[in-house]
Structure 1
Amino acid sequence: MIFPLLRRHFLEPLYIMKSGSAKLSYWRRLEESQFYSRNQLEEIQWSRLQKLWRFLWRENGFYQKQFQNAGLKENDLKGPEDIRRLPILTKKEILRQGHAMLSTGYQPNRLLNFKTGGSTGKALEILITEECSELRNACARRHDRWTGWEPGEQIGAVWGNPKLPKTLRAKLLNACVQPYIYLDTMAVTDESVQEFAKTWDNNKPTLLFGHAHSLYIVAKYIKRLKIDTIRPVGILSTSMMLLPHERTMIERVFNCSVTDRYGCEEVSLIACECEKHNGMHMNIEHLVIEFIREDGSHAGPGEPGRIVVTDLMNRAMPFVRYEVEDVGVFFDQDCTCGRGLPLMGKVTGRVADFLLKRDGTRVAGVSLIENTLTRIPGIEQMQIVQEDLDSFNLNIVPGKSYGHSQANELERYFQTLFGDSLRINIRVTDEIKPEKSGKYRFSICKIDH
């Protein structure tokens, strides 16, 4: 344990001091502020929203037009609810506007560039400053510690297309500042899992980190291969919905609790479970988070709503009332951990992954997956693809007990929900491959909605 302490107290602080980053000092403030009362945290949020509003009025041409079109004046922000008078920002609008969304004085070639595909099928470009990135990293670090991991300790990541250190400098930074070992989810085999376990045993990471479903897939390999050397202190699940049966399997195999985290490339960390697992604490120091009904009104506590986020930290390319295209639930209750950060429930699905009935009703694909996998035995993995209102493809990875009776039960289940005329094509396959990002999609709706 000497080297993790050396990284935490000497090597990393020295590196960060030389780089001029505010990451560590900001992280220390966040460690303190998480235990502020909810009112105190909302005051921080409100102060940052006011500063962002004034900045946009003076320095951002795109939002100046948004204000004018909404009939707003600079002094019209009287309370946080007044931002609801601005239109919701969509991915299509960001794609259309591009660099026109940049604030005055920010040059694209001097900013960090991130890209995400999302439901548009086209790469969405996000531009932020180095400082904004470091503030986001500091916030993620606070939440990482909720798993039991401590700075300086190694991390084992189950990730797609990992950026492995190639240069001598990159390798030294990985070893001395924040060491990672990787299992590439684009190539999960018996051999790669065994090699990952061997590397884990040699390096002794304390945190296992990865896409939710990828962690589940790896847990199944670990169980089948009878590997007992991977024993993390904490497990951090991110980037995808964590299904209850997947959490159970992961925790049983690794004998460790899973901490579920929610965020996206566009605005970074949105919410995260703490050690109590009573819901996910929302990151209101960095974001304003809304839950919107289909009619545009605000959803009440416990009621599913589309998640709309205002990023309070990104001045270069501001996202105000940005629709993440996920559906979630707000919890109006306190957590027994003592943190003042408000809670939200699990994300119930992506808007793009909701399936459509003929009457226009939306059905969460992830709920269908969860119901079928728990009700019908013999299915290891499933993906639902809705081609049109009357046609579904079901991609099935079968278990030992899968057969004609399970296929018939699947057909009856979907026809009961979507109508007797529904055509179902069941495709049995050895594996369901992840997308280029390394993530898995449980359900895909090809109908434009």
Structure 2
Amino acid sequence: MMESLSRHVFYPLWDFKDRSQRLKEWQALEEQQWWPADRLRMLQWERLQKLLAHAAEHSPFYRDIFDKHAITPASIQSEDDLLSIPITTKSDIRNNLERFISDQFDRNKLVSAKTGGSTGFSLQLYFDEACQERRNAAQLMADRWAGWDLGIKKAAIWGNPPVPSTMKQKLRHHLLDRTIYLDTMNLNETSMGDFVKRWRTEQPGAIFGHAHSIYIFARYLRDHEIKDLRPRGIVATSMMLLDHERKAIEQVFNCPVTNRYGCEEVGLIACECEEHRGMHLNLPHLFVEFLDRDNKPVKPGEPGKIVVTDLNNFAMPLIRYRVEDVGSFTDEPCACGRGLPILQRLEGRVADFLKLPDGGQVAGISLIERTLTKVPGIKQMQLVQEDLTSLKINRVKGSDHKPNTDRALISELQEVFGDSVSITIHDVSEIPQESSGKYRFAICKI
């Protein structure tokens, strides 16, 4: 009954109260996903041209870029023309944050977020509410591809789970979000055993979480011969879903795994449908390019740097933003019948888990995100673990680095690893990329 009430009553009423367009946008996406590819491309191009015109007039950063390179929105009439706009990098955002923000918006009234991301870079981001609503709508659609639907309770295997504090947050948690959490900051026999007990009480219908974290939990269930946890859908995200991990998860839960790809900067980028033969690109909301070393488009099947233009965020436009992942696409249609193109393969985002002295593990992505969002003054960092008694931090100083930054960094990590682990900081100028174009932000050599 609660599931039905959440879907048919609480979701619509909440959107009506907040004057949100989330459900309206979700319904539009549900229809657009079945449009022919040509019609979807027309919609995407119309939205791209609208964003370019807005950024050229209202974003100081892009206004200067366009002026410097003699570009006008009217001159961008094809994908080849788009190549004339320089790539936007994470360093551009860090060094020019205020200049990215549109002069049509009051920054104090925008939704803000700070992310470490899978590359270990700390970025401050801003979004307008309409952007957030569209992003949430895309997530609702993608969740339904995995077998979830409005109102179904989730089991989230995630780091640093949110704790509702205000009455509004508590109501939303119980009426809409309906999520139980297994905190990946400390995965061990006790925490996973307790989560199994809560699962049996709460009976969630879907799993959402870090790909490798879900795999560790599935392995725990397999080793303890626990066979009664049967979700209707599983969404793996945040890091690469390896083939052996997918196989193990699906065997343990007797349920297909839906792989998803996105980032805080631009939201949902791509997600698998029920065919599980690649991930459909979120074409109505993003313009995605795959580029070679010379920033020229690659051919279908060839790996390329993933560059994304966010068609939703008018408060802080991101045009041709390099997310620092590598992937390949295919122009073959999907058997599901959707007109959305396919991200064939995503490379990178393999996050090591670090070992805790008591036998537990901590997800590298959770630890990096927790640290970079709490400790100012760090531009980038990498954790290297040689043995159980020591941890090395390769740290690139940020512009706001202060004398107490490193002490705060060590203190934050000691809360996780304890005083028995020796933590040392190595001052480096940069974290080197691997050949795939990604960064390894957590390396466990044990």
Quote the Cα distance in structure 1 between the aligned partners of 2:91 and 2:124: 12
Q: Residue in 1 aligned with 2:230?
A: 231
Measured after TM superposition, the shift of residue 120 of structure 1 is 6.4
Measured after TM superposition, the shift of residue 174 of structure 1 is 1.3
Quote the Cα distance in structure 1 between the aligned partners of 2:365 and 2:119: 15
Instruction: Give a deviation string over 1:2-47, Cα, whole Å, max 9, x none.
Output: 2211111111111110110011111111101100000010011000
Structure 1 unaligned segments of length 5 or more: list them: 351-365, 370-381, 384-394, 398-427
TM-score (normalised: structure 1): 0.79
Equivalences for residues 399-418 of structure 1 within 5 A: none
Q: Residue in 1 aligned with 2:49?
A: 50
Structure 2 unaligned segments of length 5 or more: list them: 370-381, 386-393, 395-429, 434-446
Q: Does 1:40 align with 2:53?
A: no
Q: Residue in 2 aligned with 1:18?
A: 17
Measured after TM superposition, the shift of residue 434 of structure 1 is 2.1
Q: 1:138 to 1:291 in 2, by over 3 A?
A: same
Measured after TM superposition, the shift of residue 178 of structure 1 is 2.3
Quote the Cα distance in structure 2 between the aligned partners of 1:149 and 1:134: 19
State whether residues 206 and 232 of structure 2, in contact with CA within 8 Å, keep that contact through their aligned partners in structure 1: yes
Q: Residue in 2 aligned with 1:100?
A: 99
Q: Residue in 2 aligned with 1:319?
A: 318
Q: Residue in 2 aligned with 1:433?
A: 362
Instruction: Give a deviation string over 1:37-75, Cα, whole Å, max 9, x none.
Output: 000100110000111111122222211111122221342
TM-score (normalised: structure 2): 0.80
Q: Residue in 2 aligned with 1:183?
A: 182
Measured after TM superposition, the shift of residue 77 of structure 1 is 1.4
Q: 1:292 to 1:172 in 2, by over 3 A?
A: same
Quote the Cα distance in structure 2 between the aligned partners of 1:187 and 1:69: 50
2:364 counterpart letter in structure 1: E
Measured after TM superposition, the shift of residue 259 of structure 1 is 0.2
Identity of aligned residues (%): 44
Counterpart of 1:24 in 2: which secondary structure? helix
Quote the Cα distance in structure 1 between the aligned partners of 2:276 and 2:99: 41
Q: Residue in 2 aligned with 1:164?
A: 163
Q: 1:320 to 1:129 in 2, by over 3 A?
A: same
Quote the Cα distance in structure 2 between the aligned partners of 1:190 and 1:76: 60
Counterpart of 2:213 in 1: which secondary structure? helix
Counterpart of 1:346 in 2: which secondary structure? strand
Q: Residue in 1 aligned with 2:276?
A: 277
Measured after TM superposition, the shift of residue 224 of structure 1 is 1.6
With 39-48 and 108-117 compared, the bigger mean Cα shift is at 108-117
Q: Residue in 1 aligned with 2:124?
A: 125
Quote the Cα distance in structure 2 between the aligned partners of 1:57 and 1:218: 48
Aligned residues: 378
Quote the Cα distance in structure 2 between the aligned partners of 1:282 and 1:443: 34
Quote the Cα distance in structure 1 between the aligned partners of 2:17 and 2:432: 50
Q: Residue in 2 aligned with 1:250?
A: 249
Q: Residue in 2 aligned with 1:448?
A: 432
Instruction: Give a deviation string over 1:301-326, Cα, whole Å, max 9, x none.
Output: 00000000000110010000000000
Which has the bigger relative contact order, CA under 8 A and spacing at least 6? 2
Q: Residue in 2 aligned with 1:294?
A: 293
Quote the Cα distance in structure 2 between the aligned partners of 1:194 and 1:128: 39
Instruction: Give a deviation string over 1:397-437, Cα, whole Å, max 9, x none.
Output: 9xxxxxxxxxxxxxxxxxxxxxxxxxxxxxx9956532362
Quote the Cα distance in structure 2 between the aligned partners of 1:328 and 1:443: 26
Quote the Cα distance in structure 1 between the aligned partners of 2:233 and 2:278: 17
Instruction: Give a deviation string over 1:159-198, Cα, whole Å, max 9, x none.
Output: 0000022344322221112200000001212221122112
